[in-house]
Amino acid sequence: MEPNIHLNVEPNRLSIYNHIQLKTKQESLSSFFSFTFLSKPNIALQTQDRGSITETSPGSVHIIPHHCIVSATHKNILHLTSFDQTNKNNKAIQKNTQTTITMGEEVDTAFVQAPEHRPKSSVIVAEGIPLIDLSPINYQNEDTLLDSSIENLVKEIGSACKKWGFFQVINHKVPLDKRERIEEAAKKFFALGLEEKLKVRRDAVNVLGYFEAEHTKNVRDWKEIYDFNVQEPTFIPPSDEPDDEENVQFQWDNRWPQNPPEFKEACQEYAQEVEKLAYKLMELVALSLGLVPNRFRGYFTHNTSNIRLNHYPACPYPHLALGLGRHKDTGVLTVLAQDDTGGLEVRRKSDGEWIRVKPIFNSFIINVGDMIQVWSNDAYESVEHRVMVNSEKDRFSIPFFLKPALYTDVKPLEELLDDRNPPIYRPVNWGKFRSARMRSNFAKSKVENLQIYDFKFPSN
């Protein structure tokens, strides 16, 4: 019987990658494929029976069993021959079917990280970031926290902020149903066709909405996002000089999609709950620095806090790209809900290793942003983190970014300073800092974007 090659070409949704399933018709053990690669290397061959992957080089020939999946990470011209070997009267008969196919788009180099920033194949999860139980604050009815009964909790928060800049919390009082509702709404939104999502696309003027081309440190992230602001609509500009160009640059209105219909409500209800948690955490942070619990409250009257919905699609080259490149959060504090896929990595302060944050059901990941670093005069540092992608599963996450009013001049807090601890930062105008950082997220730019250390006084 003549063997047949069945080609089943399945382009990836982002159309960067092709998988081709090859099957001989009769699937007998004596049928094989032979491949000749005429173009670039980096085809992965995966035989379904053994699941092994072989890297190949141009021009090589591979004979493999009757059923396999070929994945190309570069544009490849592939000459395929399938043949059936049967032994008739001790004579090998070889019947060939030949096909030539072109498969795989080029890897889009915009997504490719420099070798030193690519994910490692081994992942460290051993000693994770601290897990903190917030139940002690749930017994308090007062508006602001009372120091005495939560001494240990305050210590735990302080030490996590110092050592890691990151921790996870449980028993946080954000209702699970509200979280599940926004997670569902996010999934439905991202599942819409691109044309639909582009109706609420962010641009250089409208800074909120959908965006699929975010760059971190000049490399494109493997993700799509949707941003909305928690507080609408008062925006008091960064400076009161009417001619200051920072004042007119951006349009801050939320841009709600029509679909799914419950999207806006799900987002707003969740935002209220997670915002309450963020303020409680700020009280704990204040206490841990020896400040009065409501020390930070005033900065958030006209806050610019926002929520981001992140969708990281499965990626055909997770060894080259990142869902989100290494970065520090610019705001005050981040409260992040990640799903059960995993992928967030935190730079361990003690040795610079990347540590994977293990997903824990119904927990939140909290991290210190650049503004706490400045207020605390470096007692608590904003720590680098990044997101790995994988080739099998999409990942969703929802960070809430607590951010002050645009006009806030953030500077080391007087109460924390003395002769031995002089201020190491000059004031950072939040609105201007944020604008400068946002401009760099749209596309590749020639200069490294503004960082918080640019505000440090020169050391002698």
Q: Which of 385, 403, 432, 434 binds ligand AKG (CB under 6 A)?
A: 385
Binding mask 344-373 for ligand AKG (x = CB under 6 A): x-----------------------------
**What is the SS3 assignment for the chain?**
CCCCCEEEEEECCCCCCEEEEEECCCCCCCEEEEEEECCCCCEEEEECCCCCEEECCCCCEEEECCEEEEEECCCEEEEEEEEEEEEECCEEEEEEEEEEEEECCCCCHHHCCCHHHCCCCCCECCCCCCEEECHHHHCCCCCCCCCHHHHHHHHHHHHHHHHCCEEEEECCCCCHHHHHHHHHHHHHHHCCCHHHHHCCECCCCECCEEECCCEECCEECCCEEEEEECCCCCCCCCCCCCCCHHHCCCECCCCCCCCCCCHHHHHHHHHHHHHHHHHHHHHHHHHHCCCCCCCCHHHHCCCCCEEEEEEECCCCCCCCCCCEEEECCCCCEEEEEECCCCCEEEECCCCCCEEECCCCCCCEEEEECHHHHHHCCCCCCCCCEEECCCCCCCEEEEEEEECCCCCCEECCCHHHCECCECCCECCEEHHHHHHHHHHCCCCCCCCCCCCHHHHECCCC
Q: Please, which residue, 22 or 332, has the CB nearer to Fe ion?
A: 332
Q: How many residues bind Fe ion (CB under 5 A)?
A: 1
- Distance, CA of 269 to CA of 304 (rounded, Å): 17
Q: Which of 71, 310, 330, 408 binds ligand AKG (CB under 6 A)?
A: 310
Identify what 169 binds: ligand AKG, Fe ion, none; CB under 5 to 8 Å per kind: none
Q: Please, which residue, 24 or 334, has the CB nearer to Fe ion?
A: 334
Q: How many residues bind ligand AKG (CB under 6 A)?
A: 11
Stretch in the footprint of ligand AKG (CB under 6 A) among 37-45, 56-64, 336-344, 404-412: 336-344
Identify what 150 binds: Fe ion, ligand AKG, none; CB under 5 to 8 Å per kind: none
First to last CA, the chain: 83
Q: Which of 20, 281, 315, 387 binds ligand AKG (CB under 6 A)?
A: 387
Q: Is 402 in the site for ligand AKG (CB under 6 A)?
A: no
Q: Is 399 in the site for ligand AKG (CB under 6 A)?
A: yes
Q: Which of 229, 397, 429, 435 binds ligand AKG (CB under 6 A)?
A: 397
Q: Is 403 in the site for ligand AKG (CB under 6 A)?
A: no
Identify what 179 binds: ligand AKG, Fe ion, none; CB under 5 to 8 Å per kind: none
Q: Is 329 in the site for Fe ion (CB under 5 A)?
A: yes
Q: Which of 219, 324, 450, 452 binds ligand AKG (CB under 6 A)?
A: 324
Which positions from 278 through 297 interact with ligand AKG, judged by CB under 6 A? none
Q: Nearest-CB residue to Fe ion? A: 329
Identify what 397 binds: Fe ion, ligand AKG, none; CB under 5 to 8 Å per kind: ligand AKG
Q: How far is the CB of 358 from ligand AKG (least distance, A)?
A: 12
Q: Which of 103, 333, 336, 405 binds ligand AKG (CB under 6 A)?
A: 336
Q: Please, which residue, 147 or 448, has the CB nearer to Fe ion?
A: 448
Q: Which of 156, 221, 329, 381 binds ligand AKG (CB under 6 A)?
A: 329
Residues binding Fe ion (CB under 5 A):
329
Residues binding ligand AKG (CB under 6 A):
308, 310, 324, 329, 336, 338, 344, 385, 387, 397, 399
